Structure 1
């Protein structure tokens, strides 16, 4: 049996729409083994991803028994679907004798997911900037300076990525594009150099959050409260509805006070302190 452990991820980091992502120490675990008998996995994203690899190499013995130990909430903006894609590809790759390179794994995962922001950090770990150019994914893994914490605020309601994409405009203004380009560059520099105060401005966005935020109850109130509690930056995690706050180490009051505030709202919000996972996906033979 093959065990695949895939970390949760948060995409975009505000302005880095579809290109920035970070992996956390919060995991889905998948247990995959071949079966000689038919297994009805047609709508299982893990199996669909594995079959893409098998078909690429003409592998015939490809029925899979799949067990999922899911800790990452689905449709909350924490990369749950990306973990399924990555697990299927890397499980199939192990069955085939590690025939794929890491770059090939990232490429296939991006083709399935549609963009590399979640799958890349899920595979390689850490904070990544990634783009798809023609048929290749180019990425850089950034080493973050110490002194910052990621706090996820996850509600008990879902928001599908497809619904969150439907509200986005088909075109944006030149002004808004420049706004985001500058803030992506500033965000990367601030995280790499430890100039965390810059994040108060650099995590702003005009390409997706103004539109998606309308789908999330109390979004503006929560953002304002995070800023009031001295967060360094606050933004939607992926398509949402999870909201991610960045705080300085030593801001010990933030967790308790934001949790107390969220408890006054009509929805239940789960607060998690997350650490960065720098290893990415692990594959083990059991």
Structure 2
């Protein structure tokens, strides 16, 4: 079988740990029966020997597969990675969702996407990345009594993403240490109001609200100070016509949602200003992970 899992952008400004969407940039994994277990990696991480010795995808796959099949069969795992590591594009969520969905498929057990999502939350405690990796589109999620509740909005072809991917990573774990343990009430209300408006804007397709609704006062500024060029990335993107411009996850990538006709102009402006960074135009993904039987 082959599975492909989309990249994701989480938080989207004020939607800390609950809002996200899927991007048409994919990791693919081929899994084949074999007389012995083996792993090959191409693309992102192919020079990293640890990915063959201590592969998280394979570990999670066998956790689930043994639970379902009652045995540990040998397989060959072939990874084709396009999602950059530690850049705020959901590479870890792609691994988790891909491994769980693959294990169900290879064990011959049918599972709903809700089942896959609620297995994934055991490995990734925040649903902002895993929900769009499962469902695609824009997702708004909460965790209630250990279960994920998600609503999805399909995103149309009139929107595209201009992603700025810096040449160096940001650690999610380190980024979280920069955040305070508590916030003033006014900051909480600020983010609640904007996250609510942002969700409403996506579902109602009132794109003109996104610039105001995507503002955050809880996490972005503290994280962006680690890479101060990101403040200028946002300024240039918005000045060039982006509908919204937010730190992607915990960074270091920067997410810019644009109207399709404005994508080339925004991308060129960002490339001209940040020649050292990768600037790419992507479609949005509305399917989430997809399995292709070989």
TM-score (normalised: structure 2): 0.89
1:132 aligns with 2:136: no
Per-residue CA shift, 1:86-109, capped at 9, x if unaligned?
111111101111343321210111
2:122 counterpart SS class = helix
| Distance across 2 between alignment mates of 1:81 and 1:176 | 29
* Cross-structure match for 2:285: 277
| Distance across 2 between alignment mates of 1:189 and 1:102 | 24
1:256 aligns with 2:276: no
| Distance across 2 between alignment mates of 1:211 and 1:56 | 41
Per-residue CA shift, 1:246-265, capped at 9, x if unaligned?
223332422212211112xx
CA contact (8 A) 1:152 1:274 kept: yes
Structure 1 runs not aligned, ≥5 long: none
* Cross-structure match for 1:25: 24
Per-residue CA shift, 1:40-87, capped at 9, x if unaligned?
866211112212213433621244321110111111111111111111
CA contact (8 A) 2:237 2:269 kept: no
CA contact (8 A) 1:144 1:192 kept: no
Q: For residues 49-88 of structure 1, what are the structure 2 equivalents within 5 Å?
A: 49-57=60-68, 59-88=70-99
CA contact (8 A) 1:186 1:202 kept: yes
- Counterpart among 218, 222, 229 of residue 211 in structure 1: 222
CA contact (8 A) 2:155 2:284 kept: no
> How many Å apart are 1:126 and its aligned residue?
0.8
1:178 counterpart SS class = helix
Aligned CA RMSD, in angstroms, stands at: 1.9
TM-score (normalised: structure 1): 0.91
The 1:66/1:197 distance shift into structure 2, 3 A limit, reads same
Structure 2 runs not aligned, ≥5 long: 40-51
* Cross-structure match for 2:13: 14
CA contact (8 A) 1:36 1:61 kept: no
> How many Å apart are 1:130 and its aligned residue?
1.2
| Distance across 2 between alignment mates of 1:180 and 1:274 | 27
* Cross-structure match for 2:119: 108
1:142 aligns with 2:153: yes
> How many Å apart are 1:34 and its aligned residue?
4.0
> How many Å apart are 1:285 and its aligned residue?
1.9
| Distance across 2 between alignment mates of 1:102 and 1:248 | 30
> How many Å apart are 1:215 and its aligned residue?
1.6
CA contact (8 A) 2:236 2:269 kept: no
Per-residue CA shift, 1:226-253, capped at 9, x if unaligned?
2222322110011110001122333242
* Cross-structure match for 2:3: 4
